[in-house]
Amino acid sequence: MTVVIVGAGPAGLRCAEHLASAGHAVCVIGAEPGLPYNRVALSQYLAGDFDEAALITHDADRLRALGIVFRPNTRVVAIDTEARNLATESGEAIAYNTLILATGSRAFRLPLPGADLPGVLMYRTLDDVNTMLAIAKSGGRAIVIGGGLLGLEAAVGLSRRGMHTTIVHGVDRLMERQLDHSAAALLARRLESQGLSMELSAATVGITGTTHATGVFLKDGRTLEADLVVMAVGIRPEAELARAAGLSIGRGIIVDDQMRSSDPNIYAIGECAEHQGQCCGLVAPAFAQAEIAARTIAGESTAYHPLTDATALKVAGAGVWSAGDIAATDVEALVYDDPDAGEYRKFLLRDHRLIGAVLYGETQDAPWYKSLLGTNVQSLRGMLAFGRAYAPMLEAAE
């Protein structure tokens, strides 16, 4: 049976490895021109932590050894679900028995005046980063629109490459989905100590310039000058190919517990998939979905169970972790706050049960806190903030 995977990101390649090891003929189609690479590590490449070659996850020798046929620089433009073939941009038809869509997400471009000017970049692909690096060689000023994880990664990287970098964020704190105000303030202070500037609660209403972007125009009337503008305001599931083929679409490609779409011969995994109303944006659930799809195709009885919502990150050298419902109301909050040491921990309890947690600085006990979510932690409340080493032998989670 021929399995074709559209998308050469981490989820697509993980699925391809499982299928190839089970004896299936596997073809992976990638729209980008090069070998498969680790998109998650783009921030480290941008910051100069390693070179481009270190991004590659599967070179030609490894693909050959795995028995995976890889077709780079091939853009699929249509799916014929009746004939079971794909149409490429070059006019070629590629047949499949089973199709797996691992098309990921696309960067969202704000619909602003001047958003399409040269010098306005997205932060999503290797080409995006290489273009940033070429501009950064001349120094100058960079403005990153967006104070979420992607925006901070881009800002830190450009700053380390010698650009004076300003983060413009429309919300009053950084990483508002993962951090509360106190943890976000610690992060902002750390970034400022590393030379970055910030404009919070600052709405961008346009990109200035005629033939090339020269800055951003804010709602309060100010204009911030820039030689480079990076939009990092979020991602959207890449589901247009599936939509055009008539598959069921919500925010992403709707799948069941086996990662099947509304067409039983087509699966979807990773950021493009929507399972039980949720789209994943992290590598761990994408890998889990890849494994479920591969095992289902191999004839096993299996089902995908969403992982507990948790975010573990390293931002500007600081550990950041959050899990559960950190925006919950009508809760009791236990807080440990040491701004001088850059340590912050917050635990949200309802009826003595841990329902959410935020860690900033030291995050080594994150797996333990994650295991406690939903459990009664009354016996631990006096030492909860100090980590597992201070917990009694009979923990509430056991």
Q: How large is the greatest C-alpha to C-alpha distance in the chain, in angstroms?
A: 67
Distance CA 167, CA 65 (A): 44
Q: How many CB atoms lie within 10 A of CB 394?
A: 8
Q: How many CB atoms lie within 10 A of CB 249?
A: 18
* 2-106+235-297 shares its CATH topology with 120-231: yes
Domain ranges of the chain: 2-106+235-297, 120-231, 310-390
Angle between helices 149-160 and 181-193 (to 10 degrees): 10
Contacts 24+ apart (CB under 8 A), 202-208: 202/168, 202/169, 202/170, 203/170, 204/110, 204/112, 204/145, 204/168, 204/170, 205/112, 205/113, 206/112, 206/113, 206/114, 207/112, 207/113, 207/114, 207/115, 207/117, 207/120, 208/114
What size, in residues, is the chain? 398
Q: Fold for domain 2-106+235-297?
A: FAD/NAD(P)-binding domain (3.50.50)
Nearest CA-CA partner of 237 in 11, 44, 26, 4 = 11
User: What pLDDT is stored for residue 233 in this prediction?
Assistant: 93
- The predicted-structure confidence for 144-181, as pLDDT tens digits, reads as follows 999 998 999 999 999 999 999 999 999 999 999 889 99
120-231 maps to CATH 3.60.10.10: no
User: What pLDDT is stored for residue 395 in this prediction?
Assistant: 47
Strands of the sheet containing 332-338, edge to edge, are 310-315, 318-324, 353-361, 343-350, 332-338
Rg (CA), the chain: 23
Distance CA 396, CA 398 (A): 6
pTM for the structure as a whole: 0.89
Token pair in block for residue 43 = 């921030």
Strands 318-324 and 310-315: antiparallel
Residue 87 near residue 93 (C-beta atoms within 8 A): yes
Residue 258 near residue 239 (C-beta atoms within 8 A): no
User: What pLDDT is stored for residue 308 in this prediction?
Assistant: 64
Residue 77 near residue 169 (C-beta atoms within 8 A): no
Residue 346 near residue 202 (C-beta atoms within 8 A): no
Distance CA 92, CA 79 (A): 12
Distance CA 149, CA 156 (A): 11
Distance CA 195, CA 167 (A): 11
- DSSP states of 316-361: TTEEEEEEE-TT-SS-EEEEEEEGGGTEEEEEEEETTEEEEEEEEE
User: What pLDDT is stored for residue 60 in this prediction?
Assistant: 95
Distance CA 226, CA 231 (A): 13
DSSP element (H, E) containing 19: helix 10-21
Locus of tokens 């202070």? 189
Give me the CATH code for the 310-390 domain, please: 3.30.390.30
Token pair in block for residue 118 = 């040269």
Tens-digit pLDDT string for the chain (398 aa): 689 999 999 999 999 999 999 999 999 999 999 999 999 899 999 999 999 999 999 999 999 999 999 999 999 999 999 999 999 999 999 999 999 999 999 999 999 999 999 999 999 999 999 999 999 999 999 999 999 989 999 999 999 999 999 999 999 999 998 899 999 999 999 999 999 999 999 999 999 998 999 999 999 999 999 999 999 998 999 999 999 999 999 999 999 999 999 999 999 999 999 999 999 888 889 999 999 999 999 999 999 998 666 777 788 888 999 988 888 888 999 999 998 889 999 999 999 999 999 999 989 999 999 999 999 999 888 889 998 887 764 444 44
